Structure 1
Amino acid sequence: MQDVTRRAALGLGAAALAGPAMAQGSIPRTDAGPLRATPEAGATLRVIRPARFVEPDEVIFRQNAQRFQDRFNIPVRVDFVGWEDIRPQTAVVANTGTGPDVVIGWSDDPHIYADRVVELNDVADYLGQRYGGWMTLAERYGKRHNSNAWLGIPFGGNIGPCTYRVSAVKEAGFDRIPEDHEGFLRLCQALKRNNKPVGFALGNAVGDGNNFAQWLLWSHGAYLVDEEGKVAINSRETVEALKYLQELYPTFVAGTLSWLDPSNNRAYSAQEIFLTANGVSLYFTLKNDPKTAAIAEDTQHAFMPKGRASAPPQTATVMNAMVFRHTRYPNAAKAFIAFMLESEQYEPWMQGSLGYWAHPLKAYSASSVWTSDPKLTIFRETMETPFWSGYKGPISQASGAVAADYVLVQMCAAVATGQATPEAAAREAERRARRYYRAS
């Protein structure tokens, strides 16, 4: 997820911000009445969120925060935190009761701290009524399980479909990415023989590591817990998935066991790998750098193989905003979240980043960003996927803890390295998962 050049990024950011009225007009919305959370007098806000992988994400987000500050006369400080660092920092905030007023963390993080965050029903109701309702994954991550209480407000999601060089796949004898495991394995083996290997993160990568591990399991019919939240990872399907990984892993380029989220972007851009799984950021970077424009032209996206699943077995890495109870200015925090998701701010942010964070509200499906480049259309329904962290069970403190502890990723890595058999790795993942689910 390398950064684009500053010149290219600022050009896109300026273009996106040039006409907020026009951007607003392209998104259907209704009058939901005013948000009742009136900011407190003398309020100030500190916000932390994950670091950007495309520069307009940060440039436009900061400009939107400045617009909020100018409109409400509320000073706002925004800090961008490394992807692997945001969860430890959130834990410190929760445990000390001090620090940022708004934490824009990861998918199920608000559920980890359910008893320490402010419910955001008024914000969710206002935005949902105004912008055609919330998409499926946004509701799942926003609401407490079996409740209408909103613990977080999702800002958007990033899915990681297969990103590949069209010419390399054709050279390997394939016209498209196969939907079955056997075909996908044959493709990856052919790419390896042609010295054009593949690469998927097996390190503790918030997005890419979890994305690959979850795809591997779900495409074989395996899952962490059942519908009631009973740990079910130690199953025949999991063992079969891990045995498949033993065949697939030799096609990977060296070093994937230590890959974090930026790693496969760098490898792909350097033409060290020719197929991986990634969000919009990689294509964005390639497209906006003259040195890699030819690679972008030869790049395409497709869903990872379905295998046994009935739908593409992938989920999104979601940015999910929460307000901790220690804040002195909860209404100002609510107003900030709502303001940033209004079309005057959200549409330019999404346009400038080429939809890197796909929208949580249904009205934004009408955004022209999804048809501005056919290679982006696959990302439009990111937040409608039927899979989620902790699938098939409820999103909870336990599911969030398992994700934060990289239980599934490390299970896969242990098998890939030969440190554990598939059977032993599945048992160890079960043991680790049970610790969290018993405590929840």
Structure 2
Amino acid sequence: MAFIIKRRESIILGAAAAAMAMAGKANAQSEIPKADVPAPKLPIEKGATLRLIRPARFVEPDEVIFRANSAKFAKETGVEVKVDLVGWEDIRQQTAVSANTGAGPDIVLGWAEDPHIYADKVIELSDVAEYLGKKYGGWMFLGEKFGKKAKTNNWIGIPMGGTGGPLVYRASAVKEAGFDKVPTTLPDLLKLCQQLQKIKKPAGFALGNAVGDANGFANWMLWSHGGALVDEDGKVIINSKETVNALNFVKELYPTFIPGTMSWNDISNNRAYASNELFFTANGVSMYFALKNDPATKAIADDTEHALLTQGVASSAPMSATVLNAMVFKHTKFPNAAKAYLTFMMEAEQYDPWLTGCLGYWSHPLNAYDKSKVWTSDPKIAIYRSTMNNRFWSGYKGPITQAAGTVAAEYILVQMFASVASGQATPADAAKEAERRTRRYYR
């Protein structure tokens, strides 16, 4: 899905105008604190044009307002911008082709670890990141974690936001199953899912190759049992008693799931939940957003609540985020234009309408946006406000590196859990196989 934004072209269609008006109304009420700091000097190259790819939208205003902001940049700078939307499971393949051929998009809004996979093929963005951090109250934990190259202060990505994946459930179903709210312990979580199955209002969590949902579920199960992929120095420790405990737990949990979770992608649970087939899962705000804004499903939205992922033995809720992380390839002919574009898109005049219009779907990475009115617009989404301050990440407990990114991209942890849930491997064998596959990248 491509879209070219050119100077002097009228590109904002009725849907875009409506979404911008909606977001603009809320944005006018937001008081985003800003420090008075000079912007980086980025003289835009003569004749500059930009092409970028980014993941396809899950909520319509994400795309509509993003395109409108890009059009605004084009109008103000004269830089043509071509935006291509790519399927969530496909964007990494396209990024790899571009990185390996030295051709293609100037900017990629990819996934969390992606700039670290191609660290030697992207330009440094420290001037942009440091300016934004100083102006907007500093970067939140995951923003800095995914933006900086491991063990340096050099920024190679600009995290634009992150989709959180807390628990999403039908309050009436949980109550019918005998619980006032989602349990805070893993044994009680299992009991809840067993009861939901008995009353034919089952749970379900992705075990297919789903970028956000499946990686989120696998990491949650691992971290809540005290497991980790690697230690602080990057030594592989996935083959552990903690991992085996997590695998045994999922072996018990999986039979309570709705059929089909082995092949789920990132839209599957949204559809099942909206169809009254699924009553308990984990998801970004997109599910609630869609239910709330469709008269046919508003009753489901009214019955929907959110909760932090069950903590288990972890020190805090074992959650990370599906981070939208921007990078600029060295093959671009217009690095200053690319940097100027990313700076522009993160400024409050553009960013807060996008954040607000998406109902916080891409939760903010800069502290100042805590003040956005979106976070008080609906109490049911307040849980997403601190998404980018979660203290877990891909490749936890080690540094975010090319190895960490590749393990996530190849779904090693997801497939480890899926192999046990499906009965294809014992927990001990699955942990051993995950260790073997992981060691290929951690050397």
TM-score range with shorter-chain normalisation?
A: over 0.9
Where do residues 15-26 of structure 1 align in structure 2 (5 Å cutoff)? 15-18=22-25, 22=28, 26=31
Where do residues 407-426 of structure 1 align in structure 2 (5 Å cutoff)? 407-426=412-431
Q: Give the TM-score normalised by structure 2.
A: 0.96
User: Is contact 2:123-2:156 (8 Å) kept?
Assistant: yes
What CA distance in whole angstroms lies between the structure 2 residues aligned with 1:371 and 1:425?
44
User: Is contact 2:169-2:304 (8 Å) kept?
Assistant: yes
CA distance 1:308–1:362, change in 2 (3 Å): same
What amino acid maps onto 1:351 in structure 2? T
What amino acid maps onto 2:357 in structure 1? G
1:169 equivalent in alignment to 2:161: no
Residue equivalent to 1:374: 379
What CA distance in whole angstroms lies between the structure 1 residues aligned with 2:90 and 2:333?
25
User: Is contact 1:9-1:55 (8 Å) kept?
Assistant: no
Task: Tell me how far 1:139 sits from its aligned partner.
Answer: 0.4
Residue equivalent to 1:200: 205
What amino acid maps onto 1:87 in structure 2? R
Task: Tell me how far 1:429 sits from its aligned partner.
Answer: 0.2
State the Cα deviation string for residues 356-377 of structure 1 (Å, max 9, x = none): 0000101001111111100111
Determine which of 316, 324, 333 is the counterpart of 1:319.
324
Task: Tell me how far 1:34 sits from its aligned partner.
Answer: 2.2
What CA distance in whole angstroms lies between the structure 2 residues aligned with 1:19 and 1:294?
25
Residue equivalent to 1:112: 117
What CA distance in whole angstroms lies between the structure 1 residues aligned with 2:16 and 2:358?
9
Residue equivalent to 2:368: 363
Residue equivalent to 2:159: 154
Task: Tell me how far 1:11 sits from its aligned partner.
Answer: 4.3
Determine which of 255, 266, 270 is the counterpart of 1:265.
270
What CA distance in whole angstroms lies between the structure 2 residues aligned with 1:14 and 1:84?
32
Task: Tell me how far 1:8 sits from its aligned partner.
Answer: 8.9
User: Is contact 1:10-1:56 (8 Å) kept?
Assistant: no
Where do residues 183-198 of structure 1 align in structure 2 (5 Å cutoff)? 183-198=188-203
Residue equivalent to 2:74: 69
Task: Tell me how far 1:71 sits from its aligned partner.
Answer: 0.3
What amino acid maps onto 1:39 in structure 2? I
Determine which of 304, 307, 312 is the counterpart of 1:302.
307
Q: Give the TM-score normalised by structure 1.
A: 0.96
Residue equivalent to 2:5: none
User: Is contact 1:101-1:333 (8 Å) kept?
Assistant: yes
Runs of 4+ in 1 over 3 A off after TM superposition: 6-13, 17-20
Residue equivalent to 1:123: 128
State the Cα deviation string for residues 243-277 of structure 1 (Å, max 9, x = none): 00111000000000000000000000001010000
State the Cα deviation string for residues 96-143 of structure 1 (Å, max 9, x = none): 000000001000110010111000010001111110110010000000
User: Is contact 1:8-1:289 (8 Å) kept?
Assistant: no
What CA distance in whole angstroms lies between the structure 2 residues aligned with 1:432 and 1:113?
20
Task: Tell me how far 1:19 sits from its aligned partner.
Answer: 7.5
User: Is contact 2:215-2:414 (8 Å) kept?
Assistant: yes
SS state at 2:441 partner: helix
What CA distance in whole angstroms lies between the structure 1 residues aligned with 2:298 and 2:15?
12
SS state at 1:320 partner: strand
Where do residues 364-403 of structure 1 align in structure 2 (5 Å cutoff)? 364-403=369-408
What CA distance in whole angstroms lies between the structure 1 residues aligned with 2:18 and 2:199?
38
SS state at 2:110 partner: strand
User: Is contact 1:265-1:282 (8 Å) kept?
Assistant: yes
Determine which of 335, 338, 346 is the counterpart of 1:341.
346
User: Is contact 1:172-1:187 (8 Å) kept?
Assistant: yes
SS state at 2:262 partner: helix
CA distance 1:259–1:19, change in 2 (3 Å): closer
State percent identity of aligned pairs: 63
SS state at 1:291 partner: coil
What CA distance in whole angstroms lies between the structure 1 residues aligned with 2:411 and 2:375?
32
SS state at 1:226 partner: coil
What CA distance in whole angstroms lies between the structure 1 residues aligned with 2:76 and 2:26?
18
